[in-house]
């Protein structure tokens, strides 16, 4: 009988994340599990776990589940491996405002049982793919994105002139700091900070947000998930742009290159321990005053 394998992925700096992960691995090892860890964490984890606990580096190995100890940033890091393999991510939130990593540390004691007995639901989230090509259609760079793809100016003193096209039809040319293309998942991240709407994660849509655009028409737009967003940097006046995916991977765009953002062919899989509605999570994470900001008047 083959052993079951779970990936245990840990925040690179938080000691409490490593402590929790080691304790979880000990509990699950007693139930007959093996483990995968981030390549760079092999020595770090090996120095803490019991010698009999078997684990190896991620590489392209499969796991039935990845348990992520950290916050949304660690989830985004883990998604680079999990997306293409279809491995669900179960996040334990050790950060601050976590929308992807929703399990709090108070639920750690029962976590091994939850994983062993598969007491979780798996939901799918839309992800994006960005391609940078030249005029001949040669692909120079490509990357997935769970939260957002952002095209931003490099030089502070110059605006970017960006022509935005939707489904091969030009929409508007903006003099701006950049343009953001977000998923519903990312609408509570950079998209929210840039003035975009909050989109419930089960909505199938893409969000386009101009960043500090000097234009009369500069409002966020919600598009079909099958839309194709094309971004062309106008060379006059000359300005350089850089693409960021989830704030983790970047590419400096050359003058003759075009950026295209579409829906990724696979979905991000997130494991949920409970069916906590997104509205409840939104109120909790942003500490929203349900009764409003105005003082209640006594009757």
State the first-to-last Cα distance of the chain, in angstroms, to the nearest integer. 69
CA dihedral sign, ordered 60, 62, 87, 77: negative
- Helix/strand/coil (H, E, C) string of the chain? CCCEEEEEEECCCCHHHHHHHHHHHHHHHCCCEEEEECHHHHHHHHCCCCCCCCEEECCCCCCCEEEEEECHHHHHHHHHHHHHHCCCEEEEECCCCCCCCCECHHHHHHHHHHHHCCCCEEEEECCEEEEEECCCCCEEEEEEECCEEEEEECCCCCCEEEEEEECCEEEEEEEECEEEEECCHHHHCHHHHCCCCCCCCCCCCEEEEEECCCCCCCCCEEECCCCCEEEEECCCCCCCEEEEECCCEEEEECCCCEEEEEECCCCEEEEECCCCCHHHHHHHHCCCCCCCCCCCCCC
CA dihedral sign, ordered 282, 199, 77, 244: negative
Cβ atoms of 129 and 246 within 8 Å: the answer is no
Measured from the Cβ of residue 188, the count of other Cβ atoms closer than 10 Å reads: 24
Active-site residue 72, yes or no?
yes
- Spot the catalytic one: 72, 116, 246, 291: 72
Cβ atoms of 69 and 8 within 8 Å: the answer is yes
Catalytic residues: 72
């Amino acid at each position: 009988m083959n052993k079951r394998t779970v990936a245990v992925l840990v925040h690179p700096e938080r000691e409490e994340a490593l402590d929790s992960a080691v304790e979880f691995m000990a509990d699950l090892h007693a139930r007959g599990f093996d483990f995968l860890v981030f390549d760079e964490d092999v020595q770090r984890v090996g120095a803490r776990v019991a010698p009999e606990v078997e684990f190896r580096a991620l590489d392209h190995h499969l796991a039935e589940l990845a348990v992520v100890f950290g916050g949304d940033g660690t989830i985004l890091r883990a998604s680079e491996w999990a997306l293409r393999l279809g491995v669900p991510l179960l996040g334990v939130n050790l950060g601050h405002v976590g929308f992807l990593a929703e399990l709090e540390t108070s639920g750690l004691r029962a976590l091994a049982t939850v994983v062993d007995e598969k007491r979780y639901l798996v939901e799918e989230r839309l992800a994006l793919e960005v391609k940078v090509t030249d005029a001949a259609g040669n692909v120079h760079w490509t990357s997935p994105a769970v939260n957002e793809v952002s095209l931003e100016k490099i030089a502070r003193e110059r605006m970017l002139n960006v022509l935005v096209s939707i489904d091969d039809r030009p929409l508007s040319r903006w003099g701006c700091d950049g343009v953001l293309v977000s998923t519903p998942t990312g609408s509570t991240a950079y998209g929210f900070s840039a003035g975009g709407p909050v989109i419930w994660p089960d909505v199938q849509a893409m969000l386009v947000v101009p960043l500090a655009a000097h234009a009369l028409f500069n409002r966020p737009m919600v598009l079909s998930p099958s839309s194709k967003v094309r971004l062309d940097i106008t060379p006059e006046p000359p300005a350089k742009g850089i693409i960021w995916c989830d704030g983790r991977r970047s590419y400096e765009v050359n003058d003759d290159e075009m950026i295209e953002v579409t829906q990724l062919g696979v979905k991000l899989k997130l494991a949920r321990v409970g069916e906590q509605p997104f509205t409840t999570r939104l109120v909790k994470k942003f500490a929203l005053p349900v009764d409003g900001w105005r003082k209640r008047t006594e009757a």
